[in-house]
Amino acid sequence: MANPPFDKFFAEHRQRLEALHGASGAARWSVPLEDFAQAAWLAVAKPAASEPKQVPQLLQNLRSEDLALALGCAQGNERAWDTFCAEYRAVLYEAAYAFAGEESQARELADSLLPELYGVDSPEGPRRSKFAYFYGRSSLKTWLHSVLHHKFVNEYRRQSKLEPLPEEPSEVAGGERALSEPEEARYAKCLREAVEAVLGELAPGEKLLLGYYYLQGLTLKQIGRLTGEHEATISRHLASVTQKLRKRIEGYLRRVEKLSAFEVERCLDFASRGVSVNLERVLKPE
């Protein structure tokens, strides 16, 4: 489909765009000049609409190398993806830890973003990667921090909506008080039984996946090498299993342990401090 504004931009600034494209290393990721120029146009179009004379300076300020790498990843170039993982995986984990404040949750948060960055084919249309929304106005590191924080906030809000309101008004008023020793012992017992029961019902393949990730501490890429799947696929499987586990644990606590909605919430909060479960025994494939 014709795009007159972009066509005009491309014609007027082609020489500058060609220089940026060459200096960015976009050819290394097989990113065509036109695709690079389209992303650059999206980056400068809004401010340039009111001040066309700003375009040269705006283009000069683009993080062209980061933009080229992001475009390569968005288009499915495996070399670009491997480079991104090698250079930015630690950045993601560091940022996730700053948001989540707990190592295992941080690891899950960072790994859950990878399939969205990698992109997948969908019934509605072609492959779509979150990298398609990176235009090079900031560094890729800054953009990743922003995307990860947005995901963290959305997940927090989603979990908050899933948790029902407390049933007893008296408990609402005392919701912030510390747990007593008897309560801690009770919640620890309830959680241990719930986690062991729910994990025990998993399919062998799901147990193996959790064992690789949580017991052996393998990375998504290492698991992918063992299973023959891409790490983005592994991340999706892992996210699906952990979400299913949480729902089943909540259900077990209500149905079997007879906890109120408020007690379930406090019990799961208590879980963040850890619960003693023999994962090696429970996750051992049959």
Give, in order, the Cα–Cα distances in Å from 240 to each of 13, 94, 102, 225. Answer: 46, 23, 20, 20
What does the pLDDT look like over 234-265, one tens digit per residue? 877 887 887 788 888 888 888 888 888 777 77
Largest interatomic CA distance in the chain: 74
Residue 171: per-residue pLDDT: 35
**49 within 8 A of 56, measured Cβ to Cβ:** no
**75 within 8 A of 31, measured Cβ to Cβ:** yes
Question: By three-state DSSP, how is residue 125 classified?
Answer: strand
Residue 175 has pLDDT above 50, yes or no: no
Please report which confidence band the pLDDT of residue 227 belongs to, taking 50, 70 and 90 as the band edges.
Answer: confident
Pairing of strands 125-128, 120-122: antiparallel
Phi and psi, residue 243, nearest 5°: -65, -40
Q: How far separated are the first and last CA of the chain, in Å rounded?
A: 56
**21 within 8 A of 65, measured Cβ to Cβ:** no
The b-or-e profile of 144-183 (16+ CB within 10 A means b, else e) is bbebbeebbeebeeeeeeeeeebeeeebeeeeeeebeeee
Q: Which residue has the higher pLDDT, 84 or 238?
A: 84
Mean pLDDT for 102-125 is 76
217: alpha, beta or left? (left if phi > 0; alpha if psi -120 to 50) = left
Residue 282: per-residue pLDDT: 65
> What angle in degrees, to the nearest 10, is found between the helix axes of 4-12 and 14-24?
80
Q: Which residue has the higher pLDDT, 255 or 231?
A: 255
Percent of the chain clearing pLDDT 70 (strictly above): 80
Please report which confidence band the pLDDT of residue 80 belongs to, taking 50, 70 and 90 as the band edges.
Answer: very high
What does the pLDDT look like over 189-210, one tens digit per residue? 888 888 888 888 888 888 888 8
Q: Which residue ranges make up each domain of the chain?
A: 4-152, 180-282
Residue 121: per-residue pLDDT: 53
**131 within 8 A of 74, measured Cβ to Cβ:** yes
Mean pLDDT for 128-151 is 89
Residue 76: per-residue pLDDT: 87
What does the pLDDT look like over 14-72, one tens digit per residue? 999 999 999 999 999 999 999 999 999 998 887 766 677 888 888 999 999 999 999 99
Please report which confidence band the pLDDT of residue 2 belongs to, taking 50, 70 and 90 as the band edges.
Answer: low
Give, in order, the Cα–Cα distances in Å from 52 to each of 8, 23, 32, 62, 67. Answer: 12, 24, 25, 16, 22
Please report which confidence band the pLDDT of residue 174 belongs to, taking 50, 70 and 90 as the band edges.
Answer: very low
Q: Which two tokens stand for residue 121?
A: 């084919």
Q: What residue type is assigned to position 233 of the chain? A: T
Residue 146 has pLDDT above 70, yes or no: yes
Q: Report which listed range, 48-52, 173-177, 201-205, 214-218, is most confident.
A: 201-205
Residue 37: per-residue pLDDT: 95
Residue 172: per-residue pLDDT: 36
Q: What residue type is assigned to position 261 of the chain? A: A
Point out the least confidently predicted range of 11-15, 91-95, 173-177, 261-265: 173-177
d(CA 50, CA 102): 46
**144 within 8 A of 91, measured Cβ to Cβ:** yes
Residue 30: per-residue pLDDT: 95
Q: Which two tokens stand for residue 97?
A: 């830890």
135 C-beta neighbours (distance < 10 Å), count: 21
